[in-house]
Amino acid sequence: MGFDLGSAMMKLGVLSSSDDDLPHAITLFVALLCFSNLIGHLVQHNPWLNRPIICSLIGLLAGGVILLKSKGESSRLLEFNEELFFIYLLPPIIFNAGFQVKKKQFFRNFMTIVSFGAIGTLISFVVISLGALLLFKKLDVGFLDMKDYLALGAIFSATDSVCILQVLRQDETPLLHSLVFGEGVVNDATSIVLFNAIQRFDLSHVNSAIALKFIGNFTYLFVTSTCLGILVGLLSAYIIRKLYFGRHSTDREVALMALLAYLSYMMAELFYLSGILTVFFCGIVMSHYTWHNITENSRVTTKHLFATLSECSEDFIFVYVGMDALDIEKWSFVRSPWTSLGVSLVLFSLVLIGRAAFVFPISFLSNWAKKAQSDKVELKQQATIWWAGLMRGAVSVALAYNQFAKSGHTSRPGNAIMITSTITVVLFSTVVLGLVTKPLVRLLLPPLIRFNSQLSSEPSSPKSITLPLLVNGQDPPEAGGGITNIVRPASLHHPVHRYWRTFDDSYMRPVFGGRGFVPVVPSSPTETNDQPQ
Amino acid sequence: MGFDLGSAMMKLGVLSSSDDDLPHAITLFVALLCFSNLIGHLVQHNPWLNRPIICSLIGLLAGGVILLKSKGESSRLLEFNEELFFIYLLPPIIFNAGFQVKKKQFFRNFMTIVSFGAIGTLISFVVISLGALLLFKKLDVGFLDMKDYLALGAIFSATDSVCILQVLRQDETPLLHSLVFGEGVVNDATSIVLFNAIQRFDLSHVNSAIALKFIGNFTYLFVTSTCLGILVGLLSAYIIRKLYFGRHSTDREVALMALLAYLSYMMAELFYLSGILTVFFCGIVMSHYTWHNITENSRVTTKHLFATLSECSEDFIFVYVGMDALDIEKWSFVRSPWTSLGVSLVLFSLVLIGRAAFVFPISFLSNWAKKAQSDKVELKQQATIWWAGLMRGAVSVALAYNQFAKSGHTSRPGNAIMITSTITVVLFSTVVLGLVTKPLVRLLLPPLIRFNSQLSSEPSSPKSITLPLLVNGQDPPEAGGGITNIVRPASLHHPVHRYWRTFDDSYMRPVFGGRGFVPVVPSSPTETNDQPQ
């Protein structure tokens, strides 16, 4: 019968009839993720390293080993796949960001965030496209048409919200974190709208009507995506409040929340909206209402489940990008590696200039519009915002593949150079900028500022009322249900926020639940301690 | 610029360059899962319905709607894909089963379980293959060769462990649950070994040497798969104990456990072992050691995370199989639906006979070998075991597709009939048997027996020591770490178990941790209650 190899192949045939490499690739990636997790744990208190750096390096290393083992023929097991990225990896990361974001901080700076994300991205896009058009003529990069230059602008305007989350800690620098990360979410949407616009661009007809149409389209996309996310979030809160609550069906609650969140993303994509914006706002609404309607155990589970999923997706992306950097196939189409490095340098300089061209002006305008001293963005903070948003990540890689490697192959030298340069810029910004940003933040923002921010990021205790000048605006103590008599912190001086609170307490929370509006159903003490059985 | 449809198509292009239907399919399936979850919640106290039935019906309904909307051309969005099933859906289900199984009950009946799963499956295989060979000649089924008949035997010997979990509740009938479910796990491995053997079968050379080789191969597969699972489980316990414990890095712990469990499954598949057995034992070891080394919050999270993942996978499988049943393409190749129904009837009768042919004899032998009255399996319990294991599920469908629809298409009428008949048998057994089994268990096992079993399934309280005759053997109270002074229940009379306990306490737990061997690190009271931030 001979069970050794033949049967083995059969067995494998049962598993993967379509792609024989898939089980190998999955095994390798899962093993690398375990490894990244371990190393990440061991160096977690290192002042320089962070998880994106470690994962990229592990990916690079694994790519190198495969390259050596295959004798220089191949360095990857999985081709970079936009579908994998946009359908499976991105949604949990963005949802978790919305679920864990400090809501008050975020909404307080809403206008600044949208300006950064929308107008800023446009400015950066124009700077990078024009710069590439002017400078690439001097380098021997092969043929690129007008669309390619515009696409480059869009690709390199996409900041990396995943990496930002790693470098600026919400609990250390809440104002900066909310500004830079919020910008990243809006920026994702803008870049994708821009990119799609370019792919359909008719260069012979640029006029004001088209510009207006673009603005109209962006506004439509922004509003409808946000509304869809809010609607799905409210739906989850309503269903769980009406049907589930108090019955301790933890597994069903958790499944329903995760499924509905994912559904919101996929629905947005199907309706041609921005799934990123939708799932982000769905996360915000779920943490504001739904999370308070579920059992104690479900709260612990969802909080950690979403964070874990998000971490794993992030790690996966960085390992993936790192491994992709050594793809020998693409490099072999590049006429000279030095040209590619030159292109990378030019592109990265343009990214630096493009970002400076909007961070400082918009911060100036934003400061001018705000009255409270504590809300203003100081010059040092502006520099940090400029610096922290320089990182480019998987969104850029995915868009670059989409523009320059439609079929997955890159036989035109111009296209190959653009892809290798994108990966170089992404890896450089992730690893090198990632290494210096943490120490830089510590240098630029002196201990006092960091201390103040830190204070305000903690759930406001009575202390924060005695220190009203330091309060930067943060969420009230969000202890689980049961506190019906809520002490409003002193930061309630903002009128818009006060109106919202009144509306929330009078109309929204009675219907959708939320902190203080659901009876306390304590888990039985044994429930938490139970052995799984 | 016209952003409406064209841009929309572009947008979608970014998402799914390879398969335009994928986002639609995912959205539909996620929506159906939400819906199943809701309906499942609403009817959870219904004495007849269970989740597999609801999911199959929802799948059938959705298939019907798609069939009507496409005007009879197509009833599915996703083709049944073995890869999806074996790589993504099955591992979380089996892992969770191992993680939540009552270990003492399982190991107490280990020999009976292995006899049922290995010898029983072989008997059933012979009965079904011979029966089909004799009876199909009278039906006009198109050409089938000897291999096809043998494959049918393997396909219909695979019981559905997923469905069994739904019908027999661990807390109501622990002995039967552990027997039937344990059999299901071993049976899965046997069926797959059998099936692979058949695909390479040389019919001209059947002799005793081959039979011996088969037995040797099965033993090798069983032992190595089990050892791999145990090794990975112990590795996770050791890593977390040495590096993680006490640092409250909940998200990392949870990610590492999930990743290592999945890694064990994929490694087993790559080494041509039984991933099902491996991940099952990995789950058992993780719940025995690793689970006690992690923080309070991680315990709650893993318990519910694994259960939730498992539930979602199960629901997905049943929706999938239900939707697949109306696949018009396959039915159109079947010469007459009546022939297919006749074949289904024959196959199902053979399943009935094949199962009876081993359940009653093996139970008799097992009773004869056991001394304790409480361990013996009564006739009524035997009938329940026979009945509850009749359900056929997704493993059968996956194997049938592998044998009869290699390329996904089934133009030969004989092959088409086999696939439609398999789906008919699977749906019939899931829905109809599923409906009657719960009431039947109530009828066959009178209240006293059920009451006793119920008592013994609860974490043993001092009460269970006063009722030694009723104790059926169960896990000691597995409250989370902290109880260092463990009271051993009276059921410790089994010598093998006593030896194991001594060995475990002296050598294993000091190294790998486990209940009572890790210091208590209570979560701070606010941690559990915290708003996710």
Return the ∠ at Cα B368 (arms to B365 and B373), rounded to 5°: 125
For B87, nearest residue in chain A (alpha carbons):
A15
User: What is the pLDDT at residue B237?
Assistant: 92
Among A7, A87, A305, the residue with its CB nearest the CB of B23 is A87
Helical packing angle, B296-324 and A250-270, nearest 10° = 60
Q: Which of A93-97, A247-251, A405-409, B55-59 has the highest mean pLDDT?
A: B55-59
User: What is the pLDDT at residue B282?
Assistant: 95
Give the amino acid at B500: W
Helical packing angle, B174-199 and B447-457, nearest 10° = 80
In chain A, CATH 1.20.1530.20 covers 79-455
Rounded (to 5) percent helix, strand, coil in chain B: 75, 0, 25
DSSP bridge partners of A89: none
User: What is the pLDDT at residue A459?
Assistant: 34
- Does any CB of chain A come closer than 8 Å to the CB of residue B207? no
User: What is the pLDDT at residue B504?
Assistant: 86
Among B249, B260, B302, the residue with its CB nearest the CB of A34 is B260
pLDDT values of chain B reduced to their tens digit, one per residue, 533 residues: 333 323 333 333 333 333 457 788 889 999 999 999 888 888 877 777 878 889 999 999 998 888 888 776 666 666 667 778 888 988 998 898 889 877 877 888 888 888 888 889 989 999 999 999 888 887 777 777 788 888 899 889 988 776 776 677 767 777 788 888 888 877 877 787 777 777 666 655 667 777 787 778 778 888 899 999 999 999 999 998 887 655 657 788 899 999 999 999 999 989 888 888 899 899 999 999 999 888 888 899 999 999 999 889 988 988 988 888 877 777 777 767 788 888 899 999 999 999 999 999 998 888 888 777 777 788 888 888 888 888 888 788 888 887 887 655 556 777 888 888 898 999 998 888 888 887 887 787 765 444 444 433 333 332 322 233 333 333 333 333 333 334 444 444 567 778 888 888 888 888 888 777 665 544 433 333 333 43
Q: What mean pLDDT comes out for the span A412-430?
A: 86
Among A38, A305, A531, the residue with its CB nearest the CB of B301 is A305
Query: Could you give the CA distance from residue A482 to residue A513 in angstroms, rounded to a whole number?
Result: 12
User: What is the pLDDT at residue B486?
Assistant: 40
Task: Give the minimum alpha-carbon distance from A30 to chain B in angstroms, rounded to a whole number.
Answer: 6
For A199, nearest residue in chain B (alpha carbons):
B10
Q: Do B262 and A14 touch (CB under 8 A)?
A: no
Return the ∠ at Cα B98 (arms to B93 and B102), rounded to 5°: 130
Q: Is A140 left (phi over 0), alpha (psi -120 to 50) or beta?
A: beta
Mean pLDDT computed over every residue of chain A: 76
Query: Could you give the CA distance from residue B283 to residue A174 in angstroms, rounded to a whole number?
Result: 40
The sign of the CA dihedral B442, B443, B445, B448 is positive
Q: Is the pLDDT of residue A261 over 90?
A: yes
The residue assigned the tokens 């009817």 is B43
What are the Cα distances from residue B329, in Å, to B318, B339, B394? 20, 17, 20
The sign of the CA dihedral B281, B285, B288, B291 is negative
Query: Could you give the CA distance from residue B192 to residue A418 in angstroms, rounded to a whole number?
Result: 48
Q: Is the pLDDT of residue A518 over 60?
A: yes
Residues of chain B contacting residue A41, judged by C-beta atoms under 8 Å apart: 243-244, 249, 252
Q: Which of residues 451-490 of A touch B (CB under 8 A)?
A: 475, 477-480
Q: Do B300 and A305 touch (CB under 8 A)?
A: no
Best to test chain A binding among B4, B7, B10, B14 (most A CBs inside 10 Å): B14
**How many residues in chain B?**
533
DSSP bridge partners of A379: none
Which CATH fold topology does B21-455 show?
Na+/H+ antiporter like fold (1.20.1530)
Q: In which band, very low, low, confident or very high, does the pLDDT at A453 lie, cut at 50, 70 and 90?
A: very low
Query: Could you give the CA distance from residue B276 to residue A219 in angstroms, rounded to a whole number?
Result: 51
User: What is the pLDDT at residue A247?
Assistant: 63
Helical packing angle, B296-324 and B51-69, nearest 10° = 50
Query: Could you give the CA distance from residue A222 to residue A219 in angstroms, rounded to a whole number?
Result: 5
Give the predicted TM-score (pTM) of the model: 0.81
A312-359 residue pLDDT tens: 998 898 898 888 887 777 777 776 778 888 889 999 999 999 999 999
Residues of chain A contacting residue B20, judged by C-beta atoms under 8 Å apart: none
Query: Can you give the three-state secondary structure of B80-125, one letter per residue?
Result: CCHHHHHHHHHHHHHHHHHHHCCHHHHHHCHHHHHHHHHHHHHHHH
User: What is the pLDDT at residue A451?
Assistant: 43
Query: Could you give the CA distance from residue B229 to residue B235 in angstroms, rounded to a whole number?
Result: 10
Give the amino acid at B245: F
Best to test chain B binding among A78, A150, A196, A458 (most B CBs inside 10 Å): A196
Q: What mean pLDDT comes out for the span A1-16?
A: 32
Greatest distance between any 2 Cα atoms in chain A: 83
- Does any CB of chain B come closer than 8 Å to the CB of residue A18? yes
The residue assigned the tokens 């305008």 is A365
Q: Which residues contact B427 (CB under 8 A, 6 or more apart)?
A: B56, B60, B321, B322, B325
Greatest distance between any 2 Cα atoms in chain B: 83
For A105, nearest residue in chain B (alpha carbons):
B533
Query: Could you give the CA distance from residue A395 to residue B44 in angstroms, rounded to a whole number?
Result: 43
The DSSP annotation for A71-92 comes to TTS---SS---HHIIIIIIHHH
Return the ∠ at Cα A93 (arms to A91 and A98), rounded to 5°: 95
Of A518 and B229, more confident: B229
Query: Could you give the CA distance from residue B376 to residue B245 in angstroms, rounded to a whole number?
Result: 43
ipTM reported for the complex surpasses 0.90 = no
User: What is the pLDDT at residue B407?
Assistant: 52
Residue A273 carries which DSSP code? S
Which CATH fold topology does A79-455 show?
Na+/H+ antiporter like fold (1.20.1530)
Among B8, B19, B287, the residue with its CB nearest the CB of A532 is B287
Give the amino acid at A97: A
